[in-house]
Amino acid sequence: MIFQAFIVALIAGICKIDPRVFGMTMLDRPLVVSTLVGLALGDVQTGLTLGAQMELLSLGLMGIGAHSGMPEITVGGALCSAFAITTGTGADMALALTLPISTFASSVGYISWIPLNHLVSERALKAAHAGDDKAVDRCQWLGLFNYFFFPFLLTFVGMLAGAPVFEWLLNVIPTWVTEGVSVASNMLPALGFALLMKLTFTWGMSPYLFVGFVATAFLGMSNVGVAFIGVIIAMIIFMSQKSKSDQKEAELDDNEI
């Protein structure tokens, strides 16, 4: 169990520092984190399934400024995937715990690596004003270490302490409660889409929403089929706009002549 906890914590720590090292390769997204955890624990299917559901849930989540109110989906994704795989429970139950665990991890971040890195950044700024390049480098590496170490430690401790508690709760909680939680967890991806639409929806885009709804509800089309329809519509719009742009350029050339 200790080795599994170490591997899961290592994955969470590396994925957490992705934007600060690898150039925003999206390693910190739940889909990637959960898949890597599933690969490490020998159950890629569960990790991929849970990661995809977490990704849908977190589509509309975005951090502003100091990530105020932003759940820690990297650590939460790693822990929930590990709990689901090691305890043998379904992805639905683990998904229902994603937001509480992610929110708790975010709260830990507010009292650990985030304030520490504020102090480090202030020290780096003073060193930069003083022309101390070596101190700036040390601050850079220290801030990176904080973003790796604390999520790593949180995930490691969470795996060792949380997995037995998680398994005990599953045995104690009545079946009708767990079934209700599983049903409610199926609504969480819809919540993610609702959050995303709240940010991006305009009435000009509403016809495309209803096209997808009709294709799914009345034609019984799968998500892949609806996605292909979206790609085709996007290509038609792109070619139409390109044709109009070429026509305007041709008119400008005629006026110059």
Q: When comparing pLDDT for 4 and 184, which is higher? A: 4
pLDDT tier for residue 257 given thresholds of 50, 70 and 90: low
**To which residue do tokens 């790593």 refer?**
152
**Apex 31 CA angle, 151 and 222, nearest 5:** 160
In this structure, the answer to whether residues 158 and 35 fall within a common structural domain is: yes
The pTM score is 0.72
In this structure, the answer to whether residues 46 and 107 fall within a common structural domain is: yes
In this structure, the answer to whether residues 236 and 114 fall within a common structural domain is: no
In this structure, the answer to whether residues 151 and 206 fall within a common structural domain is: no
Give the CA distances from residue 70 to residues 4, 42, 63, in Å, rounded to whole numbers and listed in that order: 27, 30, 5
- What's the one-letter identity of residue 184? A
In this structure, the answer to whether residues 147 and 249 fall within a common structural domain is: no
pLDDT tier for residue 100 given thresholds of 50, 70 and 90: confident
| pLDDT tens profile 207-235 | 888 898 899 889 888 888 999 999 999 99
Residues 229 and 251 sit within 8 Å (Cβ to Cβ): no
In this structure, the answer to whether residues 150 and 249 fall within a common structural domain is: no
Cα(192)–Cα(205) distance, integer angstroms: 18
Question: Considering its fold, how many domains does the chain have in total?
Answer: 2
In this structure, the answer to whether residues 147 and 29 fall within a common structural domain is: yes
Average pLDDT over every residue of 127-141: 92
Q: Tell me, what's the pLDDT at 223?
A: 83
Nearest to 173 by CA among 99, 105, 97, 98: 97
In this structure, the answer to whether residues 96 and 161 fall within a common structural domain is: yes
Cα(230)–Cα(238) distance, integer angstroms: 12
| pLDDT tens profile 155-196 | 999 888 876 766 666 666 677 666 666 666 566 667 667 777
Residue ending a domain, among 151, 178, 200, is 200
In this structure, the answer to whether residues 250 and 123 fall within a common structural domain is: no
In this structure, the answer to whether residues 149 and 251 fall within a common structural domain is: no
In this structure, the answer to whether residues 27 and 124 fall within a common structural domain is: yes
Residue ending a domain, among 179, 200, 221, is 200
Residue ending a domain, among 184, 200, 216, is 200
Domain range enclosing 23: 2-200
In this structure, the answer to whether residues 234 and 216 fall within a common structural domain is: yes
